[in-house]
Amino acid sequence: MIIRKLFRAENSHVVRNCTSERCKGTINGVGEGGIHGHSYVFQVFLSVLPKNGKIFDNAGMLADFALFKTGIKDFIDSHDHSYTLWNKEPQEYKDFIHKYSARTITTPVSPSAEQMALYSLFIIDKIITATEFNNGEANIFVDSVIVEETVTGYAKADRDDLQYCNYNLHDFIFSEAVS
């Protein structure tokens, strides 16, 4: 059984090295595009492995969504009205972004929808692992994350995709205004 929780965030980024000039350009005139934003929808799918022969908690749920109002919601909300910055950007560009944007998330990967789905799965998995469950819940885990970048396109990362995460939590830097 799977349950889904949906979150929204307005976020901006530049996606380097992509084919589209609109997405990879910079504000200094290189390329036709540059910083742009999206009204993201994050869909988080949770599942369970049976524990003591049962999958439901004492209330008949896989997990109470209230458990995720902190942790997962806080993580997704950190993207809201923030700039997602790839740590491989030139230092001059990073300095510029930090100077003019108080809300930034620096990531070890280019912030494409695919990478956002994958690192969200990675981080949410860590959040769930650290969550204390006290209502008879089974073994809850994040099954997948979908990041809708537009109404016509999304990326989905499944648990099997965690093998492609070549980073750790310390590789993500959330600015003070986000934290």
Catalytic residues: 23, 81, 149
* Residue carrying structure tokens 């949906």: 6
* Whether 48 contacts 119, CB under 8 Å: no
Residue from 156, 166, 160 nearest 120 by CA: 156
* Whether 147 contacts 45, CB under 8 Å: no
Name the helix (H) or strand (E) containing 154. Answer: strand 153-158
* Whether 48 contacts 140, CB under 8 Å: yes
DSSP state of 12: E
* Residue carrying structure tokens 């901006």: 12
* Whether 81 contacts 12, CB under 8 Å: no
